[in-house]
Structure 1
Amino acid sequence: MIYILWIFSLLGLYFWLEYRKKQRINELLQLIENMNKKNYTMPMKQDDFSMLEDALYKLFIALVEAREQTVDNAQRQIEYLEDIAHQIKTPITSMQFSLETIEVQEASKSELLILKRQLLRLNTLSDILLKLSSLDAKEDPMKKETINLAELVEYASETVDFRRNVHFEVSDSLETLFIEGDFYWLAEAVTNILKNAYNRPLCNHIKVDSRRNPLFTSLTIQDNGGGIARENLKKIFRRFYKTPDSNGFGIGLAMAKSIVEKNKGEINVSNIENGAKFEIKFYNVT
């Protein structure tokens, strides 16, 4: 009888310890969940799990502080970038005004044309820096507007100066297709892709098309500018990456990719027979 009571006592003790262990594990999980919700209240229990609780608490607080420090550093860098861009803008504006005055008097000097081109590049770069800082600092979601693709492409193409003999073709399919996203940011993305095509010396035809299936609505922009070297296809969306034949800053396509992804889409590039094709997919399931 004593042995039976002893065995039952051991079994009771075992099950109680197992129950207590599971309870403390659940309390540890709850502690992690509370800290994730920014509730840093520390339980005042003293047992074998207390050291683990203390270690988890210290680790979590260290991670929170590191994350906050990273966010603060990123915000400061963005502010510095904006400040630099604005400071660049002021002397550029002054120099452009002075250059216009000089051109009236010395219109025949070729050096003035070179200076003017460089000033325009600096002015463009300062605008890009401001757009980049604004995009990087944008913590809020992009606006979710109903956008007609024809209106989007028309608005984007107005900022591209098609002075060279380039045939710009827009498919009628855009008239009836709509997507959800931020109109002005997506117009910026489309503008950058159009400029990339237009800036290719061999390009004299740019075609914009679209299609819709149950999964996504796509917008394709293709050109006949000779295509992109295979080794550059995976690099073309990297920020500040420039192909050898590029006259840009290596920012436009990277910005386009970032904008599209922030609008819950994706962008891909491939070579076609005589040029390149960019395809933007906007998924119908949100």
Structure 2
Amino acid sequence: MIYLFWTISLLFLYYILENKKKKRINEIIYLIDKMKDQNYKIPMKQDDFSILEDKIYKLFIEIVEAKEISTENSEKQIEYLEDIAHQIKTPITGMLFSIENLELEYPEKESIEILKRQILRLNSLADILLKLSSLDANKDMMKSEEFNLQELVDYALDNFTLREDIILETQDILKENIICGDFYWLAEALINILKNANNRMACNKIFISSSKNPLYTSLVISDNGGGVEKENMRKIFKRFYKTPDSDGFGIGLAMAKSIAEKNNGEISVRNTEDGASFEIKFYNVT
């Protein structure tokens, strides 16, 4: 009888201790959830779990502080990048003005034309740096408006001229498929993809199509420029990565990827029979 009493007592004690342990674990989980909401008050309890609570609290504060320092440094880098780009633009404008005068004075000098091309390239790089700094600084400030994909394509083509030998075809469904996002930034992404095709000398045809399902609306830009080398497939969207035969800066496609992701989308590339096909998926998320 005594044995039975002790057994029941031990089981009852075990039950109480387990409930107490579960309660304290739930309290710690609740504490972590509160800290996520920037409520850093810690309960003043003294038990075996207090040390764990204290360690979690200290670790969380260290992570928050490290994140704030990282954000501050990132913002400073963006400001420095923008300042540098603006500083570069001023002398470039002066140089271009001087070269135009030289062209009038020495119209047959080939070296002047070469110098002009290089300065224009430098000017283009400064513009890209400004766009990058603006994109990085406004990562959470993308506008959200509705428009159809044909409007997006038309605007992109108004602001970028393809080579004369390239034939561009679009699918009629572009007018019907509506997406929600930042119109001007998405146009910038599309222009960068078109530039990629335009820079491939083998390319003489671009086809822009679209499809829609309950999950997402897609915009597909296909060309016949020979496709992407297998070893470059994973690197093509990395910032400042460019293939040896590229005349660009290795920024355009990386920028397109970043813009797509900041507009609830994603971008991918695959090779077709005679070229590359870039697909931007705009997910139906509000």
TM-score bracket, normalised by the shorter chain, equals: over 0.9
2: CA distance between counterparts of 1:284 and 1:5? Answer: 63
1: CA distance between counterparts of 2:53 and 2:279? Answer: 50
The aligned residue for residue 113 of structure 1 is: 113
Q: Once the 2 structures are TM-superposed, how far is the Cα of residue 6 of structure 1 from its aligned partner?
A: 5.8
> How many matched pairs?
286
2: CA distance between counterparts of 1:48 and 1:240? Answer: 52
Query: Is the Cα–Cα contact under 8 Å of residues 146 and 179 in structure 2 kept in the other structure?
Result: yes
Q: Once the 2 structures are TM-superposed, how far is the Cα of residue 173 of structure 1 from its aligned partner?
A: 2.2
The reply to whether residue 16 of structure 1 matches residue 49 of structure 2 is: no
Change (3 A) 1:218 1:11: closer
2: CA distance between counterparts of 1:132 and 1:228? Answer: 24
- Other structure's SS at 1:66 match: helix
Q: Once the 2 structures are TM-superposed, how far is the Cα of residue 15 of structure 1 from its aligned partner?
A: 3.4
The aligned residue for residue 249 of structure 1 is: 249
Q: Note the aligned Cα RMSD (angstroms).
A: 2.0
Q: Once structures 1 and 2 are overlaid, which stretch shifts more, 21-30 or 50-59?
A: 21-30
The aligned residue for residue 214 of structure 1 is: 214
* 1:52-201 aligned within 5 A: 52-201=52-201
- Other structure's SS at 2:221 match: strand
Change (3 A) 1:12 1:219: closer
Query: Is the Cα–Cα contact under 8 Å of residues 163 and 198 in structure 2 kept in the other structure?
Result: no
The aligned residue for residue 37 of structure 1 is: 37
Query: Is the Cα–Cα contact under 8 Å of residues 225 and 276 in structure 2 kept in the other structure?
Result: yes
TM-score, structure 2 as length reference:
0.92
**Cα deviations across residues 19-71 of structure 1 (Å, max 9, x unaligned)?**
32222222222221221211111222222222122111111111111111111
Q: Once the 2 structures are TM-superposed, how far is the Cα of residue 230 of structure 1 from its aligned partner?
A: 1.9
TM-score, structure 1 as length reference:
0.92
2: CA distance between counterparts of 1:19 and 1:124? Answer: 67
Query: Is the Cα–Cα contact under 8 Å of residues 264 and 285 in structure 2 kept in the other structure?
Result: no
Change (3 A) 1:62 1:198: same
Change (3 A) 1:45 1:285: closer
**Cα deviations across residues 169-201 of structure 1 (Å, max 9, x unaligned)?**
222221222111110111000000111111111
**Cα deviations across residues 95-127 of structure 1 (Å, max 9, x unaligned)?**
111111221111211111111111111111111
2: CA distance between counterparts of 1:217 and 1:273? Answer: 24
**Cα deviations across residues 205-231 of structure 1 (Å, max 9, x unaligned)?**
222122223333221112222222222
The percentage of aligned residue pairs carrying the same residue is: 63
2: CA distance between counterparts of 1:190 and 1:172? Answer: 18
Q: Once structures 1 and 2 are overlaid, which stretch shifts more, 55-64 or 15-24?
A: 15-24
1: CA distance between counterparts of 2:250 and 2:270? Answer: 18
The aligned residue for residue 227 of structure 2 is: 227
Query: Which residue identity lines up with residue 197 of structure 2 in the other structure?
Result: A
2: CA distance between counterparts of 1:24 and 1:284? Answer: 41
Q: Once the 2 structures are TM-superposed, how far is the Cα of residue 81 of structure 1 from its aligned partner?
A: 0.9
- Other structure's SS at 1:133 match: helix
The aligned residue for residue 261 of structure 1 is: 261
Query: Is the Cα–Cα contact under 8 Å of residues 78 and 136 in structure 2 kept in the other structure?
Result: yes
Change (3 A) 1:277 1:81: same
1: CA distance between counterparts of 2:227 and 2:75? Answer: 38
**Aligned structure 1 segments of 4 or more residues deviating by more than 3 angstroms:** 1-16
2: CA distance between counterparts of 1:264 and 1:171? Answer: 23
The aligned residue for residue 51 of structure 1 is: 51
Change (3 A) 1:224 1:5: closer
Give the unaligned 5+ runs of structure 2. none
- Other structure's SS at 2:277 match: strand
The aligned residue for residue 204 of structure 2 is: 204
Change (3 A) 1:88 1:14: same
